[in-house]
């Protein structure tokens, strides 16, 4: 039998393939992979945080993020090329497309990662309307921080996570929601003089509840001034003033008569008026036509609560100052002493009243923070957890 021409070659090739594989080697699979902080297909994404693209078991070789219309979003590569983050805030009501590539330590490329997501459209907008103390202010050791919002906050926890109070001196303190539109922060004890305090509200993109979203961040800074405080003793009829722990002046004073007692507790000086109109019907006192009604303009008045209590000059009660209590709840001083105290006191100085039988309460003051024991105060935080 004759062997066809070429068969020996075929037989030789078959024998060679039997001894060594003729199959092409399988390509190596990259150990690297890519994830994004926003899942593919996500909708109504709040743009409060940057978009983060991360390479695992490798490094990123390219990241492209585009918004509607193909506008590229700038970003920054960090962590040795393993992490990329947007460097400008994402916008509301936009569709974003992500394309990212990575390779492993052997430079084997991973499959490209792509995703698309859409940011939220606010139902309404919310911002920080104002803060107290105002930026650049110097205040006394008892002044809490107050943050006022332009609309009520429904999701207090989500908003509070974006708030921070940053003292230059380590200071224990807590947030406490006074209402849906106001949150305060106070130190456990009085501030240390000379402390600089930075207040940040990173509200942009935060859902404050019901689709009401923050549209701007807010930041301010203030400073704590000297340690100044006053103690008013309604039984001794004196107002004693201290600076840096030392008594510097003891002033004769007259406090509220028995039917209108000056309330005991820590008040905070928060307004100063060279003169102001005072009417008894504005704080629940005698109404017009009733005995004890008054409507007069008095000089050098320092407001210490929102229930009608001031430290102010009253020439008509000089005869009683240091001897008896005849006012409707205010602290009355002579013209000379009242002017001295007015010039001396800082906004935020504590004025503690002692010896009265009626307490100052949270319903009475614009700054009631010090009427709340600290263990109870911290429970007013939306992020409070029992210890």
pLDDT at 364: 75
Helix, strand, coil % in the chain, rounded to nearest 5: 15, 40, 50
Residues marked as catalytic: 312, 330
Residue 194 lies in a domain: yes
CA distance 101 to 103: 7
Task: With a cut of 80, say whether residue 323 has pLDDT above it.
Answer: yes
**Average of per-residue pLDDT across 3-28:** 52
Q: What is the pLDDT of residues 104-147, one digit of tens each?
A: 999 999 999 999 999 999 999 999 999 999 999 999 999 999 99
| Same structural domain, 163 and 78 | no
User: Would you say 171 and 145 are in contact if contact means Cβ atoms under 8 Å apart?
Assistant: no
Task: With a cut of 90, say whether residue 336 has pLDDT above it.
Answer: yes
Name the percent of the chain lying above pLDDT 90. Answer: 81
pLDDT at 9: 40
- Provide the total of helices (H) and of strands (E) in the chain, helices listed first: 4, 26
pLDDT at 4: 42
- Mean pLDDT across the chain, nearest whole number? 91
| Same structural domain, 257 and 307 | yes
Residue 21 lies in a domain: no
**Average of per-residue pLDDT across 282-298:** 71
Q: What is the DSSP letter of 317?
A: G
CA 324 to chain centre: 45
CATH at residue 86: 2.60.40.3780
Domains identified in the chain, total number: 3
Q: What is the pLDDT of residues 236-259, one digit of tens each?
A: 999 999 999 999 999 999 999 998
| Same structural domain, 246 and 325 | yes
CA distance 341 to 319: 19
**Average of per-residue pLDDT across 94-111:** 96
| Same structural domain, 269 and 210 | no
CATH at residue 312: 2.40.440.10
* Residue 88 CA: distances (Å) to CA of 35, 49, 73, 74, 298: 20, 10, 8, 7, 54
| Same structural domain, 318 and 245 | yes
Residue 93 binned pLDDT confidence (cut-offs 50, 70, 90): very high
Token readout for 149 is: 């919002």
Among 71, 93, 118, residue at a domain's last position: 118
**Average of per-residue pLDDT across 254-277:** 92
pLDDT at 7: 40
Among 89, 118, 147, residue at a domain's last position: 118
**Average of per-residue pLDDT across 299-320:** 93
pLDDT at 294: 67
Task: With a cut of 90, say whether residue 262 has pLDDT above it.
Answer: yes
Q: What is the pLDDT of residues 203-226, one digit of tens each?
A: 999 999 999 999 999 999 999 999
Residue 54 binned pLDDT confidence (cut-offs 50, 70, 90): very high
Residue-range definition of the domain harbouring residue 310: 228-354
Residue 140 lies in a domain: yes
- Nearest CA to 117 out of 131, 88, 96 is that of 96
pLDDT at 5: 47
Among 76, 99, 118, residue at a domain's last position: 118
Give the burial class of 221: count Cβ atoms within 10 A of its Cβ; 0-12 exposed, 13-18 middle, 19 or more buried: middle
From 3-17, 188-202, 295-309, the region with the lowest mean pLDDT: 3-17
| Same structural domain, 58 and 176 | no
Residue 287 binned pLDDT confidence (cut-offs 50, 70, 90): confident
Task: With a cut of 60, say whether residue 32 has pLDDT above it.
Answer: yes
User: Would you say 330 and 300 are in contact if contact means Cβ atoms under 8 Å apart?
Assistant: no
User: Backbone phi, then psi, for 342, in 5-degree steps?
Assistant: -60, -45
Token readout for 63 is: 């990241």
């Amino acid at each position: 039998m004759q062997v066809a021409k070429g068969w020996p070659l075929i037989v030789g090739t078959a024998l060679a393939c039997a001894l060594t594989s003729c199959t092409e080697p399988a390509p190596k699979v990259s150990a690297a992979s890519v994830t994004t902080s926003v899942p593919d297909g996500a909708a109504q994404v709040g743009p409060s945080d940057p978009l983060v693209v991360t390479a695992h078991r490798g490094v990123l070789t390219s990241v492209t993020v585009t918004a509607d219309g193909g506008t590229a979003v700038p970003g920054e590569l960090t962590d040795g090329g393993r992490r990329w983050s947007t460097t400008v805030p994402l916008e509301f009501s936009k569709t974003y497309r992500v394309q990212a590539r990575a390779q492993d330590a052997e430079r084997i490329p991973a499959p490209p990662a792509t995703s698309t997501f859409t940011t939220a459209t606010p139902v309404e907008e919310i911002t920080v309307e104002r803060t107290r103390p105002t930026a650049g202010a110097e205040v006394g050791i008892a002044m809490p921080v107050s943050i006022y919002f332009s609309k009520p906050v429904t999701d207090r926890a989500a908003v509070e996570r974006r708030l921070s109070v940053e003292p230059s001196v380590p200071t224990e303190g807590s947030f406490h929601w006074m209402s849906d539109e106001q949150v305060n922060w106070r130190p456990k004890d009085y501030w240390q003089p000379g402390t600089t305090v930075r207040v940040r509200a990173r509200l942009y993109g935060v859902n404050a509840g019901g689709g009401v979203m923050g549209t701007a961040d807010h930041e301010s800074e203030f400073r704590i001034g000297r340690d100044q405080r006053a103690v008013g003793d309604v039984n001794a009829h004196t107002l004693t003033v201290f600076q840096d722990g030392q008594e510097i002046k003891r002033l004769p004073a007259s406090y509220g008569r028995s039917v209108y007692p000056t309330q005991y507790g820590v008040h905070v000086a928060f307004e100063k008026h060279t003169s102001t109109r005072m009417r008894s019907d504005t704080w629940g006192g005698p109404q017009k036509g009733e005995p004890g009604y008054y409507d007069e303009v008095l000089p050098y008045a320092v407001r210490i609560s929102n229930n009608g209590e001031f430290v102010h000059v009253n020439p008509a009660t000089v005869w009683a100052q240091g001897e008896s209590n005849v006012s409707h709840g205010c602290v009355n001083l002579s013209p000379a002493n009242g002017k001295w105290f007015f010039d001396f006191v800082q906004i935020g100085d504590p004025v503690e009243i002692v010896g009265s039988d009626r307490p100052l309460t949270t319903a009475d003051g614009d700054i009631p923070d010090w009427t709340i024991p600290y263990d109870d105060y911290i429970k007013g935080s939306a992020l409070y957890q029992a210890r």
